[in-house]
Structure 1
């Protein structure tokens, strides 16, 4: 199945899926472990081509780190705010299966980024097309005065437009985002607001985050894509708007979805695979492992001996998986306030330079459920996000209380009126299940295919050759994992789209001039 909508960017690249028969001639059974974006993406492609798919998820909800679930008083909680950028071609393709018209997403007019010292950047009025978007940003940005260009290292700055993926990822092996920013010598506040925000959106400290990933994101959003810098958000909580409809679509294809179920081991057999869940054994021809690095490491460790015996190269691959790490923990604090915040507050605000706060969302501005609660209680629903928490003090009750207090202190500085508002209720979530894209060599990260027949992996920590990340990398690697299995069965896969894989210098000046702003 090919994508239903062509990207706006004329330089976006279509990646042809494997060729073969339209559907399986004989049934193949596939077990998918994990019902996040990667697992659901793989399930959709495999089921559409005739596979008998079972998805097993340890939580009680779909969507993984983009999940949501109900709490009391008709309220919902989530894993935190996510921006659905226009460059997320494959994720949007996945969502279109249950929502062909794209009605589950709505645009955010702007997302200001504010520094604690008071400077603010916005993206609403700058052009979409590079390099005009970058020039427009520099022209209007109070954090990037023209005089600041004098201090920028030109050679390092040229690297941002002289890219070609996937080679660019390997070029920065061993270099952190912080090291690259030091070389670049951007003005301090511009560094925080325009660049370091990318590292923290990966739930990582810039000193641990890959410079190659940072450059890829700068290319995708600033210098390489004509999709613009604004994004969309779901019109309701993630489950209502996204995953319940997609789950219904998958079930209409015959997919079995088991939530609240923990997989304890996966073992190759002479005829395929056995997946063990508590007392039950599920037989299948293939397995898609679509969980975070720590969960994958634990599960594969429990199955180590049988996996290593299944293929000569399996030991080295197991070592690669075993070396993958998770990012530091992140916190999501959702507040139900007895009085609305000021009318002029944006739906989403990115922050920099604060103690813990990385962003704040006013959920009734875009989520139907939050809006209903806000109207019935004459209040507001806010969500505060803190990335890359330090240490592990949050494991204690006192530590969690400290996280809440520090986030509220930051909120009162950003939105002063909230200091006097009554908190009707609150929910705090702290998790540490995000993959860390650190400075290790690019080739030392796992790719969707593995040396073990019938086993593939997917997720936002899995390597792919295109400049994508986060939710889009999860969807892309889910597609790639499914395509790999289908190709081994001589069945066609699905095409993918990618933002341009080459920077402006590598496309040529004439091609740049011909493009419309």
Structure 2
């Protein structure tokens, strides 16, 4: 690779792959109006790419602030609440490119020095100081890990383990059709501790139990974050609440590019017009648009399109509606934020992943990186602690059933999360809770075990309608926030290409596992 070529790579991984946008003009010639439904990462990404190229954009978000599942909001007294901790991994090339529109030098993202994962018996894995490049990172992890003793290698099913480093995309997506993450972990036969900490914790980060989560996603995630990328497994976080640091600035950026950003506003109905284009009912008013980007969760998408299903006359359109109807949301998740009257111990990490502590999946000490929380903690000599349960499922634990959001007993969820906090950080047991906020939601899409090719994609059978979101199928090994950003960019590109305008390039981690790589290949 030439010196000039290397300067284009968006991170440290010199094998990152460039996926160029379709050729076209730099800007739109004439006026096109696009309504983007959903102001999460996918919707923001689509709106930004469209607005930058001269499209008239209306971004409609039902909540009072942007960010979707990475949203935060003020509580009215200087404190904020959010949807829970999110890690901004360095593999998130498209998301980071989006954020650079308002933070060119990346100063709003600060590094978290470690990503420890603790099991219920106290054993803890760390990802600090590991080599960043595969396969050295995997070998170093096995040698250092207390949950993966070298003697445990004898029990590992070698052919299954080799699958983790012999992936090839997009072919590897379909290899796991019908297999759950739990099934894959069973045949992998990792030592129990390593299974929980190295893999199962990550599976739950998709807001699902491993038995409901597709094995292909698990393997793809392992490739993306560990065995297929040289960016490393450490990550960055915003230096303040999500809205202040990220989404409000991007909302202003959109407005500077002529977009209308409507928060606290719901799209009630959507239908194709016989003469072309789209009719959208927003807050009781009818609007028309040339195209629509639907960047919503499966439940909301289904509600907006199901009324047209009866009119579908061709097989491809009927099949698409069947796939929309089959979409499922993941079980509820819970975020509990506590404002304590004393500090947690200085040795505590900013973020700790957990396994085997009842409902608790992670603990965040927010004043370690979030400015607003740091100000509150300093003024009150206390700590702001956030607890997150990724898949709090009353269908798997009927003692949790109640009349709250997602069919949960919210008080019981709260009490069990707090009990686990006291177990993991015993010094918090004597702290008084000065304020608390509990959020329970069930609006995350579930990436299940069904056939990969049955999953929805950005394109649809309806002219001028595209989808975006982290539950969609892509050819590349990307996930979570990065898949939301990438599908937003691709949705915008799909519309722009039809109007003769060039969209935006996408970078990804290498598409080949270390056993399948061909030297020097960097362009798709």
TM-score by length of 2: 0.95
Decide whether aligned partners of structure 1 residues 31 and 312 sit closer, same or farther in structure 2, where only a CA change above 3 A counts.
Answer: farther
Look up the match of 1:233. Answer: 237
* Aligned twin of 2:283: 278
How much does 1:234 deviate?
Answer: 0.3
Change (3 A) 1:266 1:228: same
Instruction: Write out aligned runs for 1:109-128 (5 A).
Output: 109-128=113-132
Contact 2:133-2:231 within 8 A present in 1 as well: yes
Quick check: 273-282 or 165-174, which moved more? 273-282
Distance of 1:384 and 1:12 partners within structure 2: 34
- Structure 1 gap segments, 5+ residues each: 513-517
Equivalent pair of 2:15/2:520 in contact (CA under 8 Å): no
| Residue 142 (structure 1) aligned with residue 146 (structure 2) | yes
Which position in structure 2 is the counterpart of 1:62? 66
1:5-84 → structure 2 map (5 Å cutoff): 6-84=10-88
Maintained 8 Å contact 1:77/1:427: yes
Which residue of 1 is the match for residue 110 of structure 2?
106
After superposition, the Cα gap between the structure-2 partners of 1:156 and 1:511, relative to the gap in structure 1 and judged at 3 Å, is farther
Deviations 1:241-269 (CA, angstroms, capped at 9, x unpaired): 00011111111000101111111111111
Task: Give the structure 2 partner of residue 369 of structure 1.
Answer: 372
Paired position in structure 1 for 2:226: 222
For 1:313, what is the secondary structure of its paired residue? helix
Within the alignment, does 1:466 sit opposite 2:476 as a pair? Answer: yes
Residues 344, 455 of structure 1: CA spacing in aligned structure 2 closer, same or farther, 3 A cutoff? same
Structure 1 stretch displaced more, 262-271 or 182-191:
262-271
Task: Quote how far apart the aligned CAs of 1:82 are.
Answer: 0.1
Match of 1:289 in 2: 294
Any idea what SS the aligned residue of 2:358 has? coil
Partner residue in 2 for 1:456: 466
Q: 2:359 aligns with which of 356, 360, 367?
A: 356
Compare 279-288 and 5-14 and name the one that shifted more: 5-14
Q: Offset at 1:511?
A: 7.0
1:195 corresponds, among 181, 196, 199, to 199
1: distance between equivalents of 2:404 and 2:233?
A: 39
Distance 1:278 1:401, change over 3 A: same
Aligned counterparts of 1:4 and 1:99: Cα–Cα separation in 2: 19
Q: In the TM superposition, what is the alpha-carbon distance from 1:312 to its structure 2 partner?
A: 6.1
Of 440, 446, 451, which residue of structure 1 is paired with 2:450? Answer: 440
**RMSD (Å) for aligned C-alpha atoms:** 1.6
Q: CA deviation at 1:5?
A: 6.5
Shift of 1:91: 0.4
Cα contact 1:83–1:232 (8 A) shared by 2: yes
Q: Whole-Å Cα distance in 2 between the matches of residues 353 and 167 of structure 1?
A: 34
Alpha-carbon offset, residue 390 of structure 1? 1.8
Could you tell me whether the CA contact under 8 Å between 1:264 and 1:302 is conserved in 2?
no
Do the aligned partners of 1:265 and 1:302 also contact (CA within 8 Å) in 2?
no
1:157 counterpart residue number = 161
Structure 1 residue 393 corresponds to structure 2 residue 401: yes
Partner Cα separation in structure 1 for residue 465 and residue 226 of structure 2: 37
Q: Distance in 2 between matches of 1:279 and 1:143?
A: 57
> CA–CA distance in 1 between the matches of 2:315 and 2:215?
33
Contact 2:268 2:284 in 1 (8 A): no
Matching residue of 2:323: 320
For structure 2, the residue ranges without an aligned partner over 5 or more in a row are 1-6, 395-399
> Secondary structure of the residue that 2:299 maps to in structure 1?
helix
Moved more, 384-393 or 356-365: 384-393
CA distance in 2, matches of 1:51, 1:396: 42
Does the CA contact (< 8 Å) of 1:113 and 1:350 recur in 2?
yes
Cα shift readout 1:75-128 (whole Å, capped 9, x = no counterpart): 000000000000000000110111111011000000110001110000111110
Aligned-residue offset at 1:470:
0.6
Q: What secondary structure sits across from 2:85 in the alignment? A: coil
Hey, what does 2:430 align to over in structure 1? Answer: 420
Shift of 1:338: 0.6
Q: Distance in 2 between matches of 1:217 and 1:183?
A: 18
The 2-side partners of 1:110 and 1:302 are apart by 49
Shift of 1:378: 1.0
CA distance in 2 between counterparts of 1:491 and 1:341 reads 53
The aligned length equals 507
Q: SS where residue 507 of structure 2 aligns?
A: strand
The 1:386–1:191 alpha-carbon spacing in structure 2 relative to 1, beyond 3 Å, is same
Q: Is the 8 A contact 1:4 1:93 kept in 2?
A: no
- Specify which of 406, 414, 423 is matched with residue 404 of structure 1: 414
Structure 1 position 396, deviation (Å): 3.5
